[in-house]
Each structure stands twice: as structure tokens, then as C-alpha cells.
A and B are shown apart, each in its own frame.
Chain A
Amino acid sequence: GESVGLHLPTLSVQEGDNSIINCAYSNSASDYFIWYKQESGKGPQFIIDIRSNMDKRQGQRVTVLLNKTVKHLSLQIAATQPGDSAVYFCAENIVRGNYQLIWGAGTKLIIKP
């Protein structure tokens, strides 16, 4: 069925390096994708989004890439900092007439000092 999934459940990165978190989606009709960050004990926070008419979008230290050909989404975090430690979720909007977001399982990002 339709789903959004993450390739790696846990990602360990050296502080200062770049992080890349991947996400696969299965519905080619999806037109809106969002990345969220969830720190321990908190609700998910919006990081960045991208619509299907784009293939790249940049924010502050973050970049989201969308490859519609292979139905793949990635979040790149530049110069990873200890504060980036969190679980990252991708979400996909499937327009079924009711605008429901479909969530991936999450990737835990661990920063090594």
C-alpha cells in the first residue's frame, strides 16, 4: 500500500560533518513533503518542506532534495551540531480529497563528539 519509509533507523555522524537522512515514498501522486525534527520529550517541529514542482529547497543549514523519478526524499544537514540530535521524520501529503499526511517511521540522528 501507500507508505513513506526511511532507509536507516539510526544514523551516527561526527560533529561538524554533514548528515544525510533518506526517505522513500511510494505514491507518485504525492505533491507535498515535509521534514520534522523531534527532540526527546517534545512534539515534532517543522524543519523544511518541498512541493513536487521543485527538486531542491534550502533552509538554514538544511537542504531537502526530491527525486521524483525514484520517489526519494533526503534531508541534508550541514555542519552537524550536538543540538541536531533528534529523530527526524519525513511526511508525505497524499491528496485523497482530505489532505492526510502519511508519516515515515523516523530516523534517529546521533552526533558523536
Chain B
Amino acid sequence: EAQVTQNPRYLITVTGKKLTVTCSQNMNHEYMSWYRQDPGLGLRQIYYSMNVEVTDKGDVPEGYKVSRKEKRNFPLILESPSPNQTSLYFCASRRSGEYEQYFGPGTRLTVT
């Protein structure tokens, strides 16, 4: 089944404790992206990647890191999480040259 998976789905952590949210897709898509969704603000793009080893900032990259060492994986790293990073996070992917993005099921992160 073609899909985007994220892990964990739910995470409660404390300020300053490094964490990684994984994202993996099995559709051989070149483009992958991370978003956060907050009430009243909608989805905002954090980082995106056009292909392996090619990443770029979205609109809200502060406090986040990403890497794209393999085509299927695009982990989101929070080196020192803070309470303002409490949010619902979505990973998405699409094929190069197409516009439809396929989203993962979301990761609900709470930083206390």
C-alpha cells in the first residue's frame, strides 16, 4: 500500500530534550516536506527537500533541523524543544513534476 508513515504518532516530552520524528514514504517520491498545524494559523511549512541531500527552509524553520540521506526518509529533528513547538506535525511527499502531496497521519507533539 502506497503511504507516508510517521513515528511516533503522539509524543509528550520536556523542554530541552532532543527528539526526532521520523517520516518514511514507499512511493519513491523525490519531494518531501514537513508542516506544523496550529489553531488559527493553519498548516505552515517547516522544511522541504527536493531530493536526496537537497533541503531548503520553509516559512517556519527556526528550532528545527532535517536531513535527507535516503530518498524514502525525511526525519524532523528538534535539538532543544520548547513549549512553543507544541503542535500537530505532518510529513508529506510528492513525485517530482506533479503537485499532489500525500500526507502522513500526523504526529501530535506536546512539550512541557
Whether chain B is bound by chain A comes out as no
* B interface residues, Cβ below 8 angstroms from A: none
